[in-house]
Structure 1
Amino acid sequence: MVAAQPAAAANPTGYQNVRINEVTSSNNDTVELYNAGSTAVSISGWKMSDDGFSPQSFSPSATTIPAGGFVTFNSPKGLGDADKLVIYTAGGTLVDRVEWATDKAKPAMARCGGDGTGTWVTTTAATTFGAPNSAGCPASPPAASRVRINEVTSNGADTVELYNGGTSAVGIGSWKYVDGDTGHSPVSISSSSPSAGSIPAGGYLTFGSALGLGDNDSLLLLDGSGNTVDSVTWTTDGAKPSDERCADGTGWFRTSVTATPGSANSCSGGGSGGGGGQTGHLLGGGGSLTGGCTPEAATGTGSAPAGTAAWPGGLDVTIADDVCAFTTSTGPEGRDVSGLAFDPATPSVLWAAKNKNWLYKLVKSGSTWIPDPSWSATGKQIRFAGGSGQPDAEGLTVGGNGHIYVTSERDNTDNTAPKDTVMEFDPAATGSTLTPVRQWDMTSQFPQLDTGSKDDANLGFEGVGYVPDGWLTANHWTDPLTGAAYDPAAYPLHGSGLFFAGLEWDGTLHVYGLNSDGTFTTFGAIATGKVSVTDVMFDAGTQRLVASCDNTCGETHTFMKINAAGAIVPDVTYTNPAVMPADNLEGFALAPTSTCADGSREAVWSDDGIYGFGPGSTSYGHALYSGTFPC
């Protein structure tokens, strides 16, 4: 077969973001392409081949693939049990390629773990052509599917880095690789790196390509049976000095200014050479400041924890509220939106807490989150037990009973004294003011906050997350009170989960069982690796507890797991998308995976000061931002 020749001038912008996403060697030999980029890509005149016929034209369901969209077609010639599929631009440049062994494409082979970015797995259910692959992917992909091409250089060194994102070592002694020249045969990794027998869990393996890697090129990773494990395609200079995943093992590729073979990717730069490496943009916004809607500049900016990875989701961010939307009688400036939480039972609902004792039930109007007029178009004011005070509401979460649990650092009628409490509200209660069904006061546990200073009193419970007992028991969390595996039955009044409250003072999480009789059980503190915490949530999609921090910690989110010893520890920390402001972004929420579309779900941030990007910016006066996070 004649090697494909680069023809960059004829290639449409973003072609390298188009990936083969699903293929079947039965049922009309159907192929699905997915556009993982942020702009539409024309595929007019594109061709395909297999291991037995030269490039042929095909008839796609559409000649343009929108950003995040799918196109399908039937192969003009049959695809076999053990075969390969190659996609070319009209100019002959290789776009993507996948190979499979006998019966591996029956009923289909699909990218699992994210459309366009996931690794290839034989599906166990009906095919999902023209729709996200998640419905057909197995619940537990094989361990080898966590091995990914993580970084590639084409600057003369022609180095390849693999990363194992799984929890066990993977043997790769028989694996091979091949570049984008279809005249080349796959080369054994062991011939390039004789010591490459396996990759440890969370580890890296590097080797020099014996084939040479050039501009407008590709790299494919094959297992011992010839199945494609992973692939990447880049444009001119896209892998100089490197094309790397941001974040390691999970993110899409982008050009970096610093190559880091054998260690965590630097994710420096953010050029458009590799797959999906476009620079992000801030979208939407506008509107004029209203009287009294005064922004507040960010304070306390600090560094991100060591080893922080780049945001793994989309690089674009949308301003997601109306200008000065959160003005109230106790906070006319329209800022101070802090805690955020999606309602797991109704994912179209986003709950938000405003520091000056207000609670909002938000719903979408187009791309904008607005107060639900059927609940309250202006939000509802909350009080402490008995109807007193003005809770300095910071964090909130939805409990297993559907009630809203809100944390307060102090009473704003006496803001020099701490009042670290958790209040339970019934969202079905009528009226414009809500009083707690129950309230738990933990103030005495934090004497360091009771100094008579309003600044110290303001460093208490900044966030809270409800964590179901099922996650704690399934992952064998060790109960600090007993030293044995956590047994929910030992705490009969606590409900169906525990509450993790984040202390802004030092970044620790404090674990409580909130009992139905108004008492509480204290399970101790957990270190997050951060100097502060501004929001806490449990994400069922990643099966992780997430501790977020604003500009104090470099705008980062630490995903925490239960390790083999039964302790809750940091797993990975991500920054915000690069286009986000370095501001007091105190709230963070990920939508449930039931909302996933095109491999992504919504992420929402709240800005405590509506400062945005400063006077004259279109984001000035806004408190909510919306982006995407992988499913």
Structure 2
Amino acid sequence: MPESRVRRWRRSLRVLLVAVAGPTLAVGALSATPAHAAAADDIRINEVVTTGDVNDSVELYNKGTASVNLSGWILKDDDNSSRYAIAAGTTLAPGGFVAFDVHKAFGLASDDEARLYLADGTTLVDSFSWSEHSDPSWSRCPDGTGAFGSADVTLGAANDCGSGGVSATAWPGGSSVTTADTKNAFGSDLSGLYQEGSVMWAAQNSGKLWRLVPNGSTAWKADTTNGWTSGKTLRFPGGSGTPDDEGVTLTGSGAGGGVYVASERNADSSGTSRLSVLKYDVSGTATTLTAATEWNLTSDLPSVGSNLGLEAITWVPDATLTAAGFKDATTGAAYNPANYGSHTGGVFFVGAEGTGMIYGYVLKDGGTYTRVASLSSGMAGVMELQWEPQASRLWAVCDDTCDGQHRTMKINASGVFATTAIYKRPSGMDNLNNEGFAVSGSDACSGGTKPVYWSDDSNDSGHALRRSTITC
């Protein structure tokens, strides 16, 4: 279950600033200083999030035409003793965005400043100051050249420069919500969901994977064949450790190609993050499954609390991404699957609970990986991701922390995922601790709607699964 988090997202309006060329600009609550280090003129502080704790972040943008090596560059707040050194080997491609979680080096207060220096620590490249917390983000519009104003969080992607961004609307389907399991069938900690036709895969935080089958026309029950009656116990490679599995997905090969689970830690060492994707062969009858492959992403991701790690995972086919012009954040060019050798034929997108960030990875055969996307969900946390192929959209879901908000995202003209809709939870659903969400396929469409399902980590009223509909 997720730990309680303080929500500091305030919804007051801000006055957008007018871009003015020249020396330091100060208007109202904000001020910005243009870069004056000739070798770094194209790098700009582009977005700042000051919502507190793990959300304190600074994004940089390269508005130029050549890649810039940021190795050793320094980020500071208004205190010269504060230092966040950018890791060696960090290069920002033209038109690229990169966000840094600075909360462990320094906090960003309500009246503060973000400053970027060359590696010498004294040559100022760019700065931005404010006198109020971001609501939720201070963002340049247009990217890299405009003035800062209030906008939705888009760390790692193009800023939302529309007037106010996307507004939340009513649930796009039925308002009625019904239970979809028998009472106390699964207990608490049921998290990620993935529907594969007439089978529902469910990840449970206690290191267990369930294979569910229909129980009538609107509910699910445990499969009683091949050792699945009580779910199957999961282990890390080698057979030791208990994954705290939070999300589950399949590739285009279906369950025959393995079931992929996102885990945030080893439950046998619960105080330490272990942000991993694990692949399991589910074809046998054994009641314990040992991961065939682990992609341990911990060193590649910002540090988070051990219970605030990877909560969500979904897979998007390479063909879909290339057809939509998806941009590879590593190269700054159009995504080319051939650059990555043998892999699963798609990109895995994982979501972090503690930061609300979504990351795209090519998971290569053998356990190596490359990150090709980093983007903000715009929410305080991500508990589930689901790719809906029929609509070519990515669902990002938050639990009761965000009042059950759902967002859909599509690849825009810049080749990055951007929010297309924000949905409130169905009016017939209480503000539950829903950590899983599954969308039925087009074959389930009837009368213009199709079923969707949620898993409630808290097993409220003795039920872990609930059902409603969305429009087809």
Q: Is the TM value for this pair above 0.5? A: yes
Equivalent residue number for residue 168 of structure 2: 308
Q: Which residue of 1 aligns with 2:448?
A: 599
Q: Which residue of 1 aligns with 2:118?
A: none
Q: Residues 576 and 306 from structure 1, CA distance in 2 versus in 1: closer, same or farther, beyond 3 angstroms?
A: same
Aligned-residue offset at 1:401: 2.6
1:496 to 337, 345, 353: 345
Selected match of 1:623 from 449, 464, 472: 464
- The answer as to whether partners of 2:251 and 2:344 remain within 8 angstroms in 1 is no
Residue 182 of structure 2 corresponds to residue 322 of structure 1: yes
Tell me if the contact between 2:328 and 2:373 (Cα under 8 Å) persists in the aligned partners: no
Quick check: 1:339 aligned with 2:180?
A: no
Match of 1:478 in 2: 327
What corresponds to 1:428 in structure 2? 283
Amino acid at match of 2:426: P
Aligned mates of 1:401, 1:586 — CA distance in 2 = 25
Alignment-derived partner of residue 388 in structure 1:
240
- Within the candidate set 574, 589, 611, 2:438 is matched to 589
**Secondary structure of the corresponding residue to residue 169 of structure 2:** coil
1:132 is matched with none
1:487 and 1:430 map into 2 onto residues whose CA distance is 39
**C-alpha distance in 1, partners of 2:176/2:189?**
24
Q: Which has the higher contact order (CA 8 A, sep 6+)?
A: 2
Matched, 1:360 2:215: no
**Cα offset, 1:517, TM superposition:** 1.8
What RMSD over aligned residues (CA atoms) do the two structures have, in Å? 1.3
Question: Paired residue for 2:427?
Answer: 578
Within 2, Cα distance between the matches of 1:595 and 1:579?
22
Q: Distance in 1 between matches of 2:286 and 2:221?
A: 19
- Deviation of 1:425 (Å): 1.0
| Structure 1 letter corresponding to 2:469 | T
Q: Is the 8 A contact 2:436 2:456 kept in 1?
A: yes
Once residues 212 and 292 of structure 2 are traced to their aligned partners in structure 1, the CA distance between those partners, rounded to angstroms, is 22
Q: Give matches, 1:448-463, under 5 Å.
A: 448-449=303-304, 456-463=305-312
| Matches of 1:336 and 1:353, distance apart in 2 | 9
Residue by residue, what CA displacement relative to the aligned partner does 1:153-177 show, whole Å, maximum 9, x if unpaired? xxxxxxxxxxxxxxxxxxxxxxxxx
Residue 448 (structure 1) shift = 2.5
Asked if 1:348 is matched to 2:198, the reply is: yes
Q: Give the share of equivalent positions with the same residue, in percent.
A: 41
Aligned amino acid, residue 530 of structure 1: M
Give distance in 2, aligned partners of 1:468 and 1:605: 24
Aligned-partner Cα distance in 2 for 1:440–1:531: 25
C-alpha displacement at 1:495, in angstroms?
2.1
Cross-structure match for 1:520: 369
Measured after TM superposition, the shift of residue 418 of structure 1 is 0.5
> Which residue does the alignment assign to 1:397?
249
Amino acid at match of 2:467: S
**Residue 413 of structure 2 corresponds to residue 561 of structure 1:** no
Distance in 1 (CA, whole Å) between partners of 2:215 and 2:347 is: 33
Q: Which residue of 1 aligns with 2:49?
A: none
- Whether 1:537 and 2:389 are equivalent positions in the alignment is no
Q: Which amino acid aligns with 1:459?
A: L
Alignment of structure 1 residues 185-200 onto 2, 5 Å:
none
Give the secondary-structure state (helix, strand or coil) at the position aligned to 2:272.
Answer: strand
Residue identity matched to 2:266: D
Paired letter, 2:202: A
List aligned pairs for 1:107-146, cutoff 5 A. none
Question: C-alpha deviations, 1:19-78, integer Å up to 9, x for none?
Answer: xxxxxxxxxxxxxxxxxxxxxxxxxxxxxxxxxxxxxxxxxxxxxxxxxxxxxxxxxxxx
CA contact (8 A) 1:551 1:583 kept: yes
Pairing 1:373–2:233 present: no
Return the letter of the residue paired with 1:435.
T
Alignment partner of 1:490: what SS?
helix
Matched AA of 1:529: G
- Secondary structure (helix, strand or coil) at the match of 2:338 reads helix
Deviations 1:548-581 (A, max 9, x none): 1111112011110111111111110112211112
Instruction: Please give the alpha-carbon distance, in whole angstroms, between the structure 2 residues aligned to 1:342 and 1:426.
Output: 17
Q: Distance in 2 between matches of 1:575 and 1:470?
A: 31
Describe the superposition over 1:422-457 as per-residue Cα deviations: whole angstroms up to 9, x where unpaired. Answer: 0011221330011112111011234522xxxxxx21
Q: Is the aligned partner of 1:410 residue 2:265?
A: yes
Q: Is the 8 A contact 1:499 1:513 kept in 2?
A: yes
Contact 1:604–1:626 (Cα < 8 Å) also in 2: yes
1:341 CA displacement: 0.5
1:320-375 per-position Cα deviation (integer Å, ceiling 9, x unaligned)? 0111111xxxxxxx2010000011xxx11111000000001111111320011124
Partners in 1 of 2:206 and 2:324 — Cα distance? 38
Separation in structure 1 between the aligned mates of residue 391 and residue 381 of structure 2, nearest angstrom: 22
The answer for the alignment partner of 2:102 in structure 1 is none
Aligned counterparts, 1:463-474, within 5 A? 463-474=312-323
Q: Distance in 2 between matches of 1:514 and 1:540?
A: 20
CA distance in 1, matches of 2:380, 2:178: 29
Does 2:295 align with 1:440? yes
Asked which structure has the greater CA Rg, the reply is 1
Deviation track 1:289-335 (CA, whole Å, cap 9, x = no partner) reads xxxxxxxxxxxxxxxx9711111111111100111111xxxxxxx20
Q: Please identify runs of 4+ aligned residues in structure 1 that moved more than 2 A.
A: 445-449
In the TM superposition, residue 488 of structure 1 has moved relative to its aligned partner by: 1.0
Structure 1 residue 524: Cα displacement: 3.7
Question: Could you give the per-residue CA deviations for residues 226-285 of structure 1, whole angstroms, max 9, x where no partner exists?
Answer: xxxxxxxxxxxxxxxxxxxxxxxxxxxxxxxxxxxxxxxxxxxxxxxxxxxxxxxxxxxx
Unmatched segments (≥5 aa) in structure 2: 1-164
Alignment of 1:110-259 (within 5 A): none
The separation in 1 between residues aligned to 2:448 and 2:184, in whole angstroms, is 32
SS of 1:416's partner is: coil
- Aligned residue identity for 1:409: E
CA distance in 1, matches of 2:302, 2:420: 31
Contact 1:527–1:569 (Cα < 8 Å) also in 2? no
How many residues get paired?
303
Distance in 2, matches of 1:361 and 1:595, equals 19
Give the CA deviation at 1:505.
1.2
Aligned 8 A contact 2:396 2:408 in 1:
yes
Structure 2 distance, partners of 1:539, 1:601, is 12
Measure the CA separation in 1 of the matches of 2:273 and 2:330.
27
AA aligned opposite 1:588: F
Distance 1:488 1:552, change over 3 A: same
1:124-145 CA-partner distances (Å, limit 9, x unpaired): xxxxxxxxxxxxxxxxxxxxxx
Contact 1:545 1:559 in 2 (8 A): yes
